[in-house]
């Protein structure tokens, strides 16, 4: 067995120590209730050089923040479609409808939002203290107001929006994303029983304490902040444990596809496998020994589409 083969084999047997807050279940009960409290959105049909029905969508997220995105449908109005809810990577945005044309071509509707406060149009406000550049350390000593809780409440409302749309088959809701988006897809699948499929490419939000100490991902912002305020370390790591997929993925019930690049310095292979190994539902991981944060690139994109088509049967 070559070294690159052995490294992957060892990771399948890796089990990270789990740190779960005593009020973890109550915290998520309250958070899911908050996400269910309202569903306010608007759709505006817009023209676009793509043979599809294209809508701009606005949704009220956490603390009534307006979130902006796209809702895309194939042209045929006579049927209901499976829905792919996409979450973009850190410092990204929902991109253009062109980015999702392969899903439309295969009979899958798409919902994609700019996540709050990042590069897109969606805003964010109401934090009580300063932070280092980026979004991860905003109120990170307060699990009820931190950035992670906000984007997860937003994500759960996005699922609720998908369930309410008349052109969507509510039994076929898929969540998909890469990096930050992959981590958010796993968390959403864990917290929402209406999610029927999950695709998480090189997911972040996994074994986050290890990521803070070793990766060059968004979690490095936590390290930068703690260099200045080391007395906040206990509170920060306690907050992160609420949102760590190590503590969430065991609640996933739907099939899951994950990718990992063994050369990835952003979402480290050990963190991805730490979460993957705790998933109890039907699962598959594609390991790319010579890939970094691209997580297999087009090879995984093809695999993901095949996985979606086989389960959603559009």
Rg of the chain on CA atoms, in Å? 19
Query: Which is nearest to 17 in space by CA: 208, 187, 189, 182?
Result: 208
CA distance 27 to 221: 25
Which residues are part of the catalytic machinery? 179, 264, 293
Mapping DSSP to helix (H, G, I), strand (E, B) and coil, where does residue 112 land? strand
Strand order in the sheet with 283-288: 41-45, 53-60, 66-73, 109-113, 81-87, 168-178, 197-201, 256-261, 283-288
On whether the CB atoms of residues 150 and 140 are closer than 8 A, the answer is no
CA distance 194 to 36: 13
Q: Measure Cα distances from 2 to 5, 6, 38 in Å.
A: 5, 6, 54
CA distance 312 to 83: 9
On whether the CB atoms of residues 161 and 35 are closer than 8 A, the answer is no
């Amino acid at each position: 067995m070559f070294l690159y083969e052995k490294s992957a084999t060892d990771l399948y047997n890796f089990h990270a120590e789990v740190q779960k807050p005593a009020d973890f279940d109550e915290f998520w009960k309250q958070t899911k209730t908050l996400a269910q409290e309202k569903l306010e959105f608007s759709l505006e049909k817009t023209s676009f050089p793509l043979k599809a029905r294209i809508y701009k969508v606005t949704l009220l997220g956490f603390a009534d923040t307006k979130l902006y995105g796209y809702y895309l449908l194939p042209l045929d109005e006579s049927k209901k479609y499976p829905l792919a809810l996409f979450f973009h990577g850190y410092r990204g945005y929902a991109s253009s409808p062109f980015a999702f044309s392969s899903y439309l071509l295969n009979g899958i509707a798409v919902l994609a939002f700019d996540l709050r406060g990042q590069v897109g149009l969606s805003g964010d406000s109401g934090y009580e203290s300063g932070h280092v550049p980026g979004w991860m350390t905003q109120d990170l000593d307060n699990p009820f107001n931190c950035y992670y809780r906000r984007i997860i409440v937003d994500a759960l409302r996005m699922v609720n929006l998908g369930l309410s749309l008349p052109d969507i088959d509510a039994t076929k809701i898929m969540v998909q994303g890469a990096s930050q988006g992959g981590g958010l897809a796993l968390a959403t699948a864990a917290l929402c029983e209406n999610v029927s499929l999950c695709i998480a490419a090189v997911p972040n939000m996994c074994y986050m304490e290890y990521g803070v100490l070793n990766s060059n991902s968004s979690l490095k912002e936590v390290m930068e902040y703690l260099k200045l305020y080391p007395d906040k370390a206990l509170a920060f790591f306690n907050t992160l444990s609420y949102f760590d997929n190590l503590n969430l993925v065991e609640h996933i019930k739907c099939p899951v596809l994950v990718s990992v690049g063994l050369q990835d310095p952003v979402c480290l292979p050990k963190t991805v496998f730490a979460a993957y190994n705790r998933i109890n539902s039907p699962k598959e991981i594609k390991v790319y020994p010579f890939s970094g944060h691209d997580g297999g690139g087009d090879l995984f994109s093809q695999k993901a589409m095949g996985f979606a088509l086989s389960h959603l049967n559009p």
